[in-house]
């Protein structure tokens, strides 16, 4: 009881310290550690870890909303994840579909706008349909824009962007030599899954791993990174606020 009281005081102090601080417009989150959490806590299945992790997502979005962060990208499923045990993938796909559907059906006051990014054609039909319905249901929202990265891999995204660019130029009658001579970074950016969304200012990864694993490879060129130890199901508001405090303390030079 006393520990909880002290935690709340610390949380409020952290949040008060951010009142006039520069905060990110776009936060990317690698929700890592659900499986290890399940094993460390000796849960019956890793699916329980994924389900507990899913219950943390609405809280994270609420925290972002409280400090008026307008864009959030959540990495829920990578292309590599799709190669896991069939039973685990079946459970995970269902959990993601249920979670996204639940977010989309929140009251209008919540104002979420949901879009899916990734190689969506590689996903099971049930998940692809759930993502499409969520996008349609929240299309007119002007609130917090939540990108869910599902079936996402950074290398695949860049490969698909280059393929899309070449197909577009070929349809315009351009030769390969003309494409090469005119090629600029913004041409590739225009064909990424995340086109139309600002690049992330801050990327958070949970579970103690210190790597991006291909998350938003192109978009994160000038992002700040924050790595923390808690597994995703254990991630607390204080962890989130510490990430924002760390971001506010850094001087961003954007390579200059």
Q: Let me know if 167 is exposed, middle or buried by CB neighbors in 10 A (0-12, 13-18, 19+).
A: exposed
From the list 65, 81, 94, 160, the catalytic residue is 81
Evaluate whether 204 touches 223 at the Cβ level (below 8 Å): no
Q: Look up residue 7 and give its two tokens.
A: 């935690």
Q: Look up residue 10 and give its two tokens.
A: 């610390």
Look up 142 and say whether it is catalytic: no
Q: Look up residue 72 and give its two tokens.
A: 């959030």
Q: Strand order in 71-78's β-sheet?
A: 113-117, 145-152, 71-78, 26-30, 202-205, 224-227
What region, left, alpha or beta, does residue 216 occupy, with left being phi > 0 and alpha being psi -120 to 50 degrees? left
Q: Which residues are catalytic?
A: 32, 81
């Amino acid at each position: 009881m006393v520990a909880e009281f002290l935690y709340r005081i610390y949380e409020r102090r952290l949040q008060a310290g951010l009142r006039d601080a520069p905060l990110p417009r776009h936060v990317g989150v690698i929700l890592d550690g659900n499986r290890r959490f399940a094993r460390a806590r000796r849960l019956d299945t890793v699916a329980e870890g994924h389900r507990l992790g899913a219950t943390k997502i609405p809280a994270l979005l609420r925290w972002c909303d409280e400090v008026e962060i307008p864009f959030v990208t959540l990495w829920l499923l990578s292309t590599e994840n799709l190669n896991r045990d069939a039973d685990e993938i079946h459970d995970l796909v269902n959990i993601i579909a249920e979670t996204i559907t639940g977010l989309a059906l929140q009251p209008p006051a919540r104002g979420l706008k949901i879009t899916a990014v990734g190689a969506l054609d590689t996903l099971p039909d049930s998940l692809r349909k759930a993502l499409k319905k969520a996008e349609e249901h929240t299309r007119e929202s002007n609130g917090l824009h939540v990108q869910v990265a599902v079936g996402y891999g950074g290398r695949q995204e860049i490969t698909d962007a280059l393929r899309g660019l070449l197909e577009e130029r070929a349809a315009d009658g351009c030769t390969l030599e003309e494409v090469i001579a005119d090629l600029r970074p913004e041409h590739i950016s225009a064909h990424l899954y995340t086109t139309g969304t600002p690049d992330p200012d801050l990327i958070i990864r949970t579970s103690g791993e210190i790597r991006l694993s291909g998350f938003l490879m192109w978009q994160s060129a000038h992002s700040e990174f924050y790595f923390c130890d808690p597994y995703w199901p254990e991630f607390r508001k204080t962890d989130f606020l510490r990430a924002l405090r760390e971001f506010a303390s850094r001087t961003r030079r954007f390579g200059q």
